[in-house]
Chain A
Amino acid sequence: MQASSSPQEISTALPAILARHGHDGTRLMQILREAQEAEGWLSPALLTEIARAVGRPRAEVEGTAAFYSFFHTRPRGKYCVLWSDNITDRMLGNRELLKALCSKLWLEPGRLSEDGLVSVNTTSCTGMCDQGPAVLVNYRAITRMTMERVDAMAELIRNQVPLAEWPAEWFAVEDNVRRADILLSSRFEPGSALRAAVARASADGLVASNDRSVRESLPHGLVGPTALLDEIRLSNLRGRGGAGFSTRLKWEACRNAPLKEGQTRIVICNADEGEPGTFKDRVLLTSHADLVFEGMTVAAYAVGATRGFVYLRGEYRYLLEPLQEVLARRRAAGLLGRNILGIPGADFDIEVHLGAGAYICGEESALIESLEGKPGRPRIRPPFPVTHGYLEQPTIVNNVETFACAALIALKGGEWFATIGTRQSTGTKILSVSGDVERPGLYEYPFGVSVAEVLQDCGVTNCIQAVQVSGPSGVCIGQDELDRKIGFEDIPTAGALMVFDCTRDMFDVAHNFAHFFAHESCGFCTPCRVGTQIVARLMDKLASGHGSPYDINEMFKMHRLMQGASHCGLGNTACNPMIDTLTKFKPAYERRLKSLDFVPGFDLDAALSQARQMTGRDDAAAHLAGTD
């Protein structure tokens, strides 16, 4: 059966979807996803209908649909198989498995089969590095692929067995918590942090807090929020997304931002965990969702917000319904909705929005654009989200783990939290460890732990060559740097540790990352849009053995340009993996150079191959002498 959408089919599913979203254009991402789930793909007629219904120009709606990798504006197969293509998946053999699946299905990667049944392609890291090789089939996560599973999958696809009837164990996603500390071991009772926050207010003394309210131009009499902000200040909590911005400063800036008529403050949980190698938020949202939601509610209480969003990456589509169930339970328990815990005016609710395959949406202003139903393009800043965020309203965007910490701080106090970790980096950090270790998974440590200690706990059998900390945009550290410490004083990280033993080729690692950035650049600014492509091509050239020192110089030149001139962090850091590996693992590059000297970039003899083919000649005289 070929996925198609005749006008009749559109009329059945779409009206209900549009009605459920109130024909609201800011909800375009959710409308497009649900429409695609119903119709198979986003046909031109469907986009016209959606644009009309939400009252936006059609070109804008198409522009959004075309931005996200998981939206299909061309017919998609009944089965869309996407192989996670992080370097860790490659190390587990995903390329061979992909090829095997393609050959069993008589397919070329990236092409829809003649009968419109199936397409097989790659996608950026799906956050299953601890249980790869991973795939998404119709955007449902499948882990631990093997050749046996490939055989079975080809059979299921050929027989057109519905996904719901595929073996359930394929869809199992393990938590793989290997070391738990305050977050991952918490037996959190829903509501306990909020109750503690409210109770603390009266104990803390009304006068002092009121004094501060006046000083910081906060509303009078709101003792609870002020006392809570005091705890956050005492905790010295910093953002867990990697940048480490002070949570207190962010929350206070949002709280102090003036509201216009009809506006509210907004709390956003950034669950767009797109940095390859990172998968901690997956586990927090699977097994500690109450802790995260409570942290968001605590934040809402502190900043005076009434609306909350979880921006969940499209790769974690399977978490949507379980998360919605947790939210429903919290509403029923009086922990969300109106008058939370019976406090008059304490109104706050959370909804989960799904992304659709765009790494850039992890950048907070791009995330907000996406939440508004637009392409995920980072905004020009200032103004910052704390004053002009979601629909121009004061907005805080925090990492999943930051909210989990905030809930525990509300429960146990800032001083307790500050005793854990180091002075500049209080609390714990959850690390997502993958690659060449015996026990990949999550490891939670107090900040200040050294990379070597982590590696010891993960079980390292072979000698270590390098560890990529914080994903492609982070740092690559070598053998002699393993005593470096996780923390804002030394290596700040969102938590990814990809481990490479001595058998790995560090050029392959950087090559993979170069293509990742080229694929994920939003395309807005010239240096990143074109620069990431130039760098990927330079790496291809080196990989094919045609590179020379000239190409390496070009890489440094692109790095200098992109680092200064790019619009956002993606372009600024896109060359890091190349520069790091070039500095620390130069032999991996030099091995590939055609010559250590400068050589022409153009192979004249190879250019004649077409002429040779046409004339059927391959004798010595048909080749240029002196070239190889």
Chain B
Amino acid sequence: MSEQNSFLLDGEEIPFSPGQTVIQAAKAAGKYIPHLCWHPDFAPHGSCKLCTVKVNGRFGSACTTAATAGMNVDNRTPELDDKRRTLLQLLFVEGNHFCPSCEKSGNCLLQATAYDLGMMSPHFDHFFPDRPVDASHPDMLLDFNRCIMCALCVQASREVDGKNVFAMGGRGMRGRRVIVNSESGRLADTDFAATDRAANVCPVGVILKKRVGFAVPIGQRTYDKAPASIVEVVK
């Protein structure tokens, strides 16, 4: 390993190839940088800010920062993990997240990341927003109460499925939402299919397949077996 293509992550040398971002290089080296909206198969979105690191003393998103030789990146410091816990709390109170009754429990990256980072309470007052559930589609259910605005469904539908079933729209906390591509706003009126990549990419419990919610019992699910910090590096 030459010095030209490595950087320091929490003091450990991480090799990278040109064009890689900090989070890509870290994952390849088996290092976990907490994240929600980033997915290795898609271009970085940079919205959740969980992957905020300190690059040479300045804050930046690990998913959008290009790795450069000799950079010094702080990742799992108490300061940064503290900020991450607050960001998680903000996401929990912004939507309506009720893990005990959620069929995504155990497969949910938001829940798993909160466990992993030791988020003990939502801390802030809940907003209890009024968000719709769309059960119109024969095979799929949309429960926007759990949306964290990662836009992975938008990317997957556009880039992999070539369908544009979803788009992000609206402004601010009250307005921003996933918009469904039909005049009625109903998923049933789109060409969405359960086999779409977009049907299988949601990190939380918004886009769900009907009739299989509890096929895998709680206790035997992805993040029941291993924490996010392991699963997300191996995946």
Interchain CB contact under 8 A, B83 and A57: no
CA gap between A525 and B127 in the complex, in Å: 17
* Chain A CB within 8 A of B130 CB: no
Query: B173: which of A65, A360, A521, A566 is its contact (CB, 8 Å)?
Result: A521
Contact with A along B148-166 (1 / 0, CB 8 A): 1100000000000000111
Which residues of the partner chain B approach A532 to less than 8 Å between Cβ atoms? 172-173
Give the contacts of A505-537 with B (CB-CB under 8 A). Answer: 518-527, 529-534, 537
Which residues of the partner chain A approach B184 to less than 8 Å between Cβ atoms? 44
Query: A533: which of B83, B86, B173 is its contact (CB, 8 Å)?
Result: B173
The segment from B41-49, B113-121, B134-142 found at the interface with A is B41-49
Q: For A62, A358, A530, A567, which residue has the most chain B Cβ atoms within 10 angstroms? A: A530
Tally the A-B contacts, defined by beta carbons under 8 Å.
Answer: 127
* Chain B CB within 8 A of A68 CB: yes
CB of A116 to closest CB in B, whole Å: 22
Query: A60: which of B52, B93, B149, B164 is its contact (CB, 8 Å)?
Result: B164
* Chain B CB within 8 A of A322 CB: no
Which of the four size classes fits the interface of chain A?
35 or more
Assuming the contacts A44-B183, A58-B181, A59-B165, asked whether A567 and B86 have C-beta atoms less than 8 A apart, the reply is no
Contact with B along A44-87 (1 / 0, CB 8 A): 11011000000001111011111111000000000000000000
Assuming the contacts A62-B167, A567-B49, asked whether A530 and B175 have C-beta atoms less than 8 A apart, the reply is no
CB of B82 to closest CB in A, whole Å: 9
Which residues of the partner chain B approach A545 to less than 8 Å between Cβ atoms? none
Give the contacts of A367-382 with B (CB-CB under 8 A). Answer: 375, 380
* Chain B CB within 8 A of A91 CB: no
CB of B149 to closest CB in A, whole Å: 7
CB of B171 to closest CB in A, whole Å: 5
Interchain CB contact under 8 A, B169 and A375: yes
* Chain A CB within 8 A of B56 CB: no
Interchain CB contact under 8 A, A534 and B124: yes
CA gap between A360 and B170 in the complex, in Å: 13
Which residues of the partner chain A approach B183 to less than 8 Å between Cβ atoms? 44-45, 47-48, 58
Query: B181: which of A57, A67, A521 is its contact (CB, 8 Å)?
Result: A57
Q: Which residue of A lies closest to B190 (CB)?
A: A59
Q: Name the prevailing secondary structure of the A interface residues.
A: helix
CA gap between A531 and B183 in the complex, in Å: 32
CB of B15 to closest CB in A, whole Å: 23
* Chain B CB within 8 A of A19 CB: no
Q: For B165, B166, B172, which residue has the most chain A Cβ atoms within 10 angstroms? A: B172
CA gap between A44 and B165 in the complex, in Å: 16
Interchain CB contact under 8 A, B87 and A526: yes
Query: A380: which of B49, B59, B64, B93 is its contact (CB, 8 Å)?
Result: B64
Which residues of the partner chain A approach B193 to less than 8 Å between Cβ atoms? none
* Chain B CB within 8 A of A20 CB: no
* Chain B CB within 8 A of A477 CB: no
CA gap between A68 and B169 in the complex, in Å: 10
CB of A523 to closest CB in B, whole Å: 3
Assuming the contacts A526-B47, A526-B91, asked whether A564 and B52 have C-beta atoms less than 8 A apart, the reply is yes
Question: Knowing that A65-B169, A526-B87 are A-B contacts, what are 6 other residue pairs whose CB atoms are under 8 Å apart, sorted by A's residue number?
Answer: A59-B180, A522-B171, A523-B170, A527-B87, A529-B176, A531-B90
Q: Which residues of B contact A (CB under 8 A)?
A: 44, 46-50, 52, 59, 64, 83, 86-87, 90-91, 93-94, 124-125, 127, 148-149, 164-173, 175-177, 179-185
Q: Mind listing 28 A-B residue pairs with CB under 8 Å?
A: A44-B183, A47-B183, A48-B183, A57-B167, A57-B181, A59-B166, A59-B180, A60-B167, A62-B179, A66-B171, A67-B170, A375-B168, A518-B172, A518-B173, A520-B172, A521-B172, A522-B176, A523-B172, A524-B176, A525-B46, A526-B47, A526-B49, A526-B90, A527-B49, A529-B149, A530-B93, A537-B125, A557-B86
